[in-house]
Every structure is written in structure tokens, then in C-alpha cells.
Amino acid sequence: MLHRVALVVLLVAVGASCTPAAERAASGPPASAAAPSQAVEAPQGAATTAPAHLRVAISAISAIVAPVWVALDEGLYRKYGLEVEFANFDGGTRAVTPIVTGDTPIGAVTAGAVIDARLQGTDLKMFAALFDTYYFQIFSRREVRSPEDMRGRTIAASSAKSASERAAIAALERYGLQLGRDYQLTYVGSQSGRLAALEQGLVDATVISPPFGLRAREAGFVELVDLMSLNIPYGHFVIASSERWAREHPEQVRAFLQAYSEALALVRRDPEATKRAIAKYTQTDEPALLEESYQVGFGQLPEVPLVREEVVRGSMETSDHPLARTTPPQEFYDNRFVQELETAGFYRQLWGH
């Protein structure tokens, strides 16, 4: 295991479990919300049965998960028979624990965290893909003009084995830099905390995602690497659950995927509804930041969210577990729910092709 620098400073208080009510969504859509999408009819009986309560883990407050939020605000979870509540975490490694215990039996988390958890003996699996590469940018102080200039310097990530840590290692490896030998990592928690660490000169660079990248750019920091444009295979967000829970609650898994997919279609055609959700859940109200969030990344979200073996393999390469080199990638994912919906014509009806 490579040496990692101890935590420099914790700038924003974060819990090891879910955040309080400010980052939890109310159960129903707001009174002012737009009418739900009518692209796909609800399953028979959905309106006549009481919705099933479902707590959902979110591993990071990031604009790219907007369809998950839009599905709540536009009433799409209720349309498919679910009453959804979010629990937010700083990092995939923290988010997978309550999925394993059943406290939040399904979650939008990183593929790397699912892989590590399964290799440690849990029955976690990926059931859908949301974003198949790193949704990150690396910004640095003004004197660090290129990735090669990171030699002897420190970069901030959220936590050990987090997607931000893996992204920093993967990006800098492309420029011949190795963690421990050429640069150090420090853990600062949330994205706002990581940006603050850069602003206060506590680190030389930081890993962040939109809309924080625009804030960093406006503050005069240098964008060293745009990981989204590199298209490194990595499941930045996947839908994961335990095999046992999915086997016992297949209708809830299917309903969640239907609501998410219909919300993605709404996100593609309704920028304003999407920006409202991003503003609400990221607590950002600056028009430029919301526009930046909407413009970056949504085109890369797959319309049919099948987990791809290539992405799983790329995610496995980031694990330091000894079994990660020998375990078949098919051990970590199950596309049956998405495939069932595809066979039934759900995605063809939703997207029109």
C-alpha cells in the first residue's frame, strides 16, 4: 500500500454516515414542481397500492446525479410505486456500508467501492450504470502549470479508496507520476472543503467536479486535467444493492430504474427542471454554476444503463485487493433488470428509438 499523507485539515464537517435533514429530500414533489413526464405509462396497479418506502444512498453531492433527484421532485418514484428518501455520504466507501446492512438497501455509488466491498465478502453487485468515466477535474495553484509540475507536491481527495483518490492516481499515472514517489495525497472530505483547501494554500491541487470547477477557474486556478475528456473506464456512479435484497425486492429495483430512466429523458429535454434540482440539492443558486453543471456530462449518461464489462475491468484496476487481479468481472454486476426492461420495450418507448 502506497504511503498517503495524513489529513491536513477538515474544512467542512462531514459525518461518517448520512447527512442531516438539509441534505435529505422530502418524500413528495414540491407544490411548484412541473408535471411529471408522461413518456412511459406507470405499471398497472401502481396508483392503487401504497408506495414502498425506499432509502437510497448517494455517495457524493454531484450535479451528474441530477436524474436521481429529478425523479423525486417530478413525482416519478411515486409513479412507479416508491416513496424515496435520500441519504448522502462523502465517498463511495462510506456509502456501501449501509447498503450492505440494509439501512439504505440501494444506492448510487462508485463501482470501485462496490468491487472492494464484494472482494471483502459482501454480496454487493452493480445493477445499472449511470456514468462510465470519472466525473472530475483537477485544479491547481497558479505556479503548477502542468501535471508534471506536481512532483513534490500534494493533492486533495475526499477519503481513502474514494473515487476522487482513484481519479488522481489514474490521471497522474498518465504523466509518469506515482503516488508516494512523486507526489502525496491528503484527505479533506467534501468538494467544498477540497476547494477551500486549495484556496487557502493548504494543498497544491485538488480533485473536484462541476460546478466547483467553474468556481476554481473563476478564482484563477489552473485546470491541470479534465478527467471527463480522458474517458478512462470507471464507474463513477452505478446503481448497487445486495444480491439478497434485489432477489427479495425485484419490483423495487425495477421501479427505481424506471423512474431514474424516465427522469434522465426529462433532464435531456428540460434544462430548467434539471437546474432547479441541481440548485436544490447542491445548495447552489448562481446561474453560471447551474448552467455549467447542466452543460457538462449529461450527454455521457447512457440511455440504456447497462453495466459494461470494460468499465468494470477499469474499476477493478483501481483496487489494491489481491483478488482484484484474478476475479472475473462478471462477478461484480448483473444486468438482468435493465435487460428485462429493454426486452419489454421500456427504453424504446421512452427514447423513441
- Residue 69 φ/ψ region, left for φ over 0, alpha for ψ in the -120 to 50 degree band, beta for the rest: alpha
pLDDT, residue 44, reads 43
> Domain coordinates of the chain in residue numbers?
52-134+233-351, 137-230
Q: Determine the Cα–Cα distance for residues 165 and 346; give it in Å rounded to an integer.
A: 37
pLDDT, residue 61, reads 84
Q: What is the CATH number of domain 137-230?
A: 3.40.190.10
- For 235-267, the pLDDT digits (tens) are 999 999 999 999 999 999 999 999 999 999 999
pLDDT, residue 18, reads 38
The CATH number of 52-134+233-351, from 3.40.50.150, 3.40.1390.10, 3.40.250.10, 3.40.190.10, is 3.40.190.10
Can you count the helices (H) and strands (E) in the chain? 15, 10
DSSP 3-state of 135: coil
- For 197-210, the pLDDT digits (tens) are 999 999 999 999 88
Exposure letters 295-320 (e unless 16+ CB within 10 A, then b): ebbbeebbebbebbeebbebbbbbbe
pLDDT, residue 246, reads 97
Average pLDDT over residues 187-214: 92
Contact predicate 91/60, CB 8 Å: yes
pLDDT, residue 107, reads 96
pLDDT at residue 331 tops 70? yes
Q: Which residues lie below 8 Å from residue 177, measured CB to CB, with a gap of 6+?
A: 147, 148, 150, 151, 183
Percent of the chain with pLDDT over 90: 71
pLDDT, residue 48, reads 55
pLDDT at residue 37 tops 90? no
Percent of the chain with pLDDT over 70: 86
Q: Determine the Cα–Cα distance for residues 158 and 15; give it in Å rounded to an integer.
A: 13
Name the residue with cell 452543460: 295
pLDDT at residue 35 tops 60? no
Return mean pLDDT, the chain. 86
Torsion of CA 349, 79, 18, 116, to 10 degrees: -30
pLDDT, residue 284, reads 83
Nearest residue to 202 via CA among 13, 15, 7: 7
pLDDT, residue 282, reads 86
Q: Do domains 52-134+233-351 and 137-230 have the same CATH topology?
A: yes
- For 42-65, the pLDDT digits (tens) are 444 344 578 999 999 998 888 899
pLDDT at residue 85 tops 60? yes
pLDDT, residue 237, reads 94
pLDDT, residue 306, reads 98
pLDDT, residue 38, reads 42
Q: Determine the Cα–Cα distance for residues 250 and 334; give it in Å rounded to an integer.
A: 13
- For 125-179, the pLDDT digits (tens) are 999 999 999 999 999 999 999 999 999 999 999 888 888 999 999 999 999 999 9
